[in-house]
Amino acid sequence: PNAKFGDQEFCPLKHTFVDGAYVREIFMPKGLLIVSKLHKITHPYFILKGDVSILTENGAIRLKAPYSGVTKAGTKRVLYIHEDTTWVTVHVTKETNIDKIEEEIIAKSYKDMGIEVDEEFETKILEFTEELCPGC
C-alpha cells in the first residue's frame, strides 16, 4: 500500500548519454525494499557503493560494493538495501529520450517476453521480505 514508483526524491536517478549508450545511476537509501523493472536486454551493472540482498531464482544473495555483474534479459530483481547504495547500469542505445529508452529495454510483463513465471515465486518473495525486512 505504501509503494512508490519511478524516479523519487529519496531514490533519485541520474541519466548520462554517451555515443551509443545510456548510463543510468540510481541512489537507494538504507532500509528500502525495491522491486526492479523487468529487463528485456542483457546489460552490465555496477554497484559503486553499498550493500544489498537480492532475491534470485536460486535464493537470496548478498552483494557489497565494489561489484560488477551482468543482468540477463528476463531479470526482475527484489532488493533489500542494507546500506546506502549507488547502482549503475549501461544500455546500448542511440536513443536519448528516457521514455523511448524504457520502451526499448523494459518489458511490461513476463508474458510479453514469452516467459512463464514459477508459481512459487510470490511465496519466495514474501519469505525473502520477511527474513530481511520484518514488518515491511
Residue reference for cell 549501461? 90
Percentage of the residues of the chain whose pLDDT score is greater than 70: 84
What pLDDT digit, counting tens, does each position of 28-54 carry?
A: 999 998 888 889 999 999 999 999 999
Q: What is the grid cell recorded at 83? A: 546500506
- Phi, psi values for residue 76, rounded to 5°: -135, 125
Residue reference for cell 511465496? 123
- Phi, psi values for residue 75, rounded to 5°: -85, 135
What pLDDT digit, counting tens, does each position of 8-23 carry?
A: 788 899 999 999 999 9
What pLDDT digit, counting tens, does each position of 106-117 carry?
A: 998 878 888 776
Kindly state the average pLDDT of the residues 94-123.
84
User: 60 vs 103, which has greater pLDDT?
Assistant: 103
Q: pTM for this structure?
A: 0.84
State the Cα–Cα distance between residues 93 and 79, nearest whole angstrom: 26
pLDDT of residue 16: 97
125: Cα within 13 Å, side-chain hemisphere: 15
pLDDT of residue 127: 73
pLDDT of residue 7: 66
What pLDDT digit, counting tens, does each position of 47-85 carry?
A: 999 999 998 877 889 999 999 999 999 898 889 999 999
